[in-house]
Amino acid sequence: MTSFQQARIDLGCRLRGLREAAHLSGKDLAERLRWQPSKVSRLENARQTPTEDDVVVWAQAVGAPPEVTDELIARSMALLERHDDWKQRHRGGLAALQEDIRDLEARTTLFRVFEPGIVVGLLQTSEYARHVFRKVRRLYSADDQIDAAVRVRMQRQEILYDRSRTFRFVVTEAALRTRLAPADVMRGQLDRLLAVSTLPNVGFGVVPLAAELPSAPVNGFWIYNESMVGVATMTKDLVLRDPDDVAFYIRAFDDYAKVAEFDESGREVIIRLLHHYR
């Protein structure tokens, strides 16, 4: 067990103790917080990392004193700022990992995403996602929860239709050519991108193969509002909150966006790839 997971277990036990001391069942607490009961279970059983918001409302619901709330916030922030071991996270279950991401997205109003090698999760079709999760399961020995993980990933996509949120996606043409699924699944995925790219709150750009890149596209990254960046490597999930780090990735995103094709020009690239797969 990693030190990260042990710290998450300890925090889950602390949350459970506070709930029980307040004589609340998991269902009672979930109703007070307007959560699904499964979220209370995931937090208490260390299958999900609580955010600062999570621990604050939990502490309020159980009547915890201010010093206890401060302790919980400090523990949560320490977990969120650490380098997360992907192998350990995937062993916690593919579906639980998708729930973690969905909770983070629910607190975000401006998304900026750059992906050089895969279709962004929020834009994946269920069949494309299924093939991706199968590869993840093999690579990380993740729990076999593919159906549940696909279901949660599809539920996450409902956020795209919330006009109060803004999405800017930039992917490379190479990512759209990368065969992570059979040709018919790739065609369906490209059709999905054509549809999503027309949403009024979604900007979808493709960096053509012929474009000169501003820097080497080593890793994909997600920028959440102006406050946090997620950078995925093969073994670590980096969560960056330092303002200088966030500003660096915003500049990097803007550089890639400048060489990307958006709107009709971007869709022309996708249509060309559809002909390729046919």
Of the candidate ranges 22-26, 73-77, 96-100, 191-195, the one whose mean pLDDT is the lowest = 96-100
Report the C-alpha gap between 196 and 198 in whole angstroms: 5
Locate 180 and state its tokens.
């992570």
Locate 232 and state its tokens.
């995925």
Please report how the helices 66-80 and 52-62 are oriented relative to each other, as an axis angle in degrees rounded to 10. Answer: 160
Locate 172 and state its tokens.
């490379």
- Quote the pTM value: 0.74
Task: Give me the mean pLDDT over the 195-210 stretch.
Answer: 97
The 3-state secondary structure of the chain reads CCHHHHHHHHHHHHHHHHHHHCCCCHHHHHHHHCCCHHHHHHHHCCCCCCCHHHHHHHHHHHCCCHHHHHHHHHHHHHHHCCCEEHHHHHHCCHHHHHHHHHHHHHCCCEEEEEECCCCCHHHCCHHHHHHHHHHHHHHHCCCCCHHHHHHHHHHHHHHHHCCCCEEEEEEEHHHHHCCCCCHHHHHHHHHHHHHHCCCCCEEEEEECCCCCCCCCCCCCEEEECCCEEEEECCCEEEEECCHHHHHHHHHHHHHHHHCCECHHHHHHHHHHHHHHHC
Q: Yes or no: say if 260 and 253 are a contact pair by the CB < 8 Å rule.
A: no
Residue 95 in this model has a pLDDT that exceeds 70:
no
Task: Give me the mean pLDDT over the 173-182 stretch.
Answer: 95
The mean predicted confidence, pLDDT, of the chain is 88
Locate 79 and state its tokens.
């977990």
The 3-state secondary structure of 144-171 reads CCHHHHHHHHHHHHHHHHCCCCEEEEEE
Interval 17-36: pLDDT, tens: 999 999 999 999 999 998 88
Task: Give me the mean pLDDT over the 122-136 stretch.
Answer: 92
Report the C-alpha gap between 70 and 223 in whole angstroms: 27
Find, among 19, 11, 13, the residue nearest to 35 by Cα.
19
- How many C-beta neighbours within 10 Å does residue 33 have? 15
Our measurement of the distance from residue 102's CA atom to the centroid of its chain's CA atoms, rounded to an integer in Å, reads: 6
Split at pLDDT 50, 70, 90, the class of 232 is confident
Of the candidate ranges 41-45, 104-108, 244-248, the one whose mean pLDDT is the lowest = 104-108
Q: Yes or no: say if 98 and 152 are a contact pair by the CB < 8 Å rule.
A: yes
Residue 83 in this model has a pLDDT that exceeds 50:
no
Find, among 249, 193, 245, the residue nearest to 81 by Cα.
245
